[in-house]
Structure 1
Amino acid sequence: MSIFGKSVFGNKATDSIPAPAAGDGAAAPEAAVRKSDDEWRQELTPEEYHVLRQAGTERPYTGEYVDTHTEGVYQCRACGAELFRSNEKFDSHCGWPSFWAPLADGTVRYIHDRTLGMERVEVRCSNCDSHLGHVFAGEGYGTPTDQRYCINSVSLRLVPRDAGESEAAQS
């Protein structure tokens, strides 16, 4: 069961296991990639660390992928897990890259976020538990899922479609 009582918005991604109630002994799923805080600080730039590991947000309209239309796959900048495809990216004009669904089931997980006095759904990488952004529904964008995955550019790394083909040809 998700935080909404049914599949999170009914999209491709799987439900996150809700945080255990105090004293019930249930554990949240663990990320495959586990590193110490010091290891993350050594591997990531200060901005990447702030967003990915401290759930920060980059300033709107400043990220490298806001207006990008390059075909390819967007990976988690922290661990390299494939998260989104360019075919699901759309122009929402909100200041951050927007996608209408994740790449596949289980690539992201959801957390009920009540910070800043708002009710939101945080999106995290399922592989390393890094903060990516938030997902919103019912905003009228006319996407196939009527959702907007509002993702920080600094959380992502775009692997252009042509780059993957040229690497395969060299092998």
Structure 2
Amino acid sequence: MQEKSEEEWKKVLTPDQYDVLRRKKTEPPFSGEYVDHKEKGIYTCSACGQELFDSESKFDSGTGWPSFNAPLSEKKVSLEEDTSYMMRRTEVVCSRCKSHLGHVFDDGPPPTGKRYCINSLSLDFKKK
């Protein structure tokens, strides 16, 4: 995939999507379209369309953001150290377009013990 310039991203993303996906902002908790979403299907990157998470891996974490216990494949996301806001976290990035998706934590349910806490603005949904 050819990389887009920031000006090109601004043309294809909404201002809120741009803030989250490209500027690494976080949407307010419980504000996202997919927090309570229960349909069966695949969640994709809203910037490039890459398939990221299956609805089967989604769970209610009570945190206010869509949460998943695993991506479709480890190759679909990249993990990067995030030391912003004087915290140490692991950022989740789309492996194809390098857009910010959210963060992953080690307090999720079995079998993985992971909680991929993802911004709704970073996702689109394809119904099965």
Q: Same fold (TM over 0.5)?
A: yes
Counterpart in the other structure of 1:144: 111
Query: Which amino acid in 2 is paired with 1:136?
Result: F
Aligned partners of 2:69 and 2:109 also within 8 Å: no
Per-residue Cα deviation, 1:69-118 (whole angstroms, up to 9, x for no partner): 10000000000000000000000010000000001131000110011111
Q: What residue is the counterpart of 1:101 in the other structure? A: 70
Conserved in 2, the CA contact under 8 Å of 1:73 and 1:82?
Answer: yes
Unmatched runs of 5 consecutive residues or more in structure 2: none
The structure richer in strand per residue is: 2
Cα shift readout 1:7-26 (whole Å, capped 9, x = no counterpart) = xxxxxxxxxxxxxxxxxxxx
Q: Contact 1:114–1:120 (CA<8 Å) still a contact in 2?
A: yes
Q: What residue is the counterpart of 1:166 in the other structure?
A: none
For these two proteins, the number of residue pairs brought into alignment is 128
Q: CA deviation at 1:144?
A: 1.0
Runs of 4+ in 1 over 6 A off after TM superposition: none
SS in 1 for 2:79: strand
Mapping for residues 82-93 of structure 1, pairs under 5 Å: 82-93=51-62
Write the deviation string for residues 3-60 of structure 1: whole angstroms up to 9, x where unpaired.
Answer: xxxxxxxxxxxxxxxxxxxxxxxxxxxxx34101111000000000000001010000
Residue 143 of structure 1, CA deviation: 2.5
Rounded to whole Å, the distance in 2 between the matches of 1:108 and 1:45 is 22
Larger-gyration structure (1/2): 1
SS for the counterpart of 1:47 is helix
Match of 2:43 in 1: 74
* RMSD (Å) for aligned C-alpha atoms: 0.8
In the TM superposition, what is the alpha-carbon distance from 1:66 to its structure 2 partner?
0.2
TM-score w.r.t. the length of structure 2 is 0.97
Mean alpha-carbon deviation: is it higher for 47-56 or for 141-150?
Answer: 141-150
Could you tell me which of 25, 29, 32 is aligned with 1:63?
A: 32
Q: Is the 8 A contact 1:33 1:127 kept in 2?
A: no
Percent identity of equivalent pairs: 52
What residue ranges of structure 1 are gaps of 5+ in the alignment? 1-31, 162-171
3-state SS, counterpart of residue 9 of structure 2 = helix
TM-score, normalised to structure 1, is 0.73
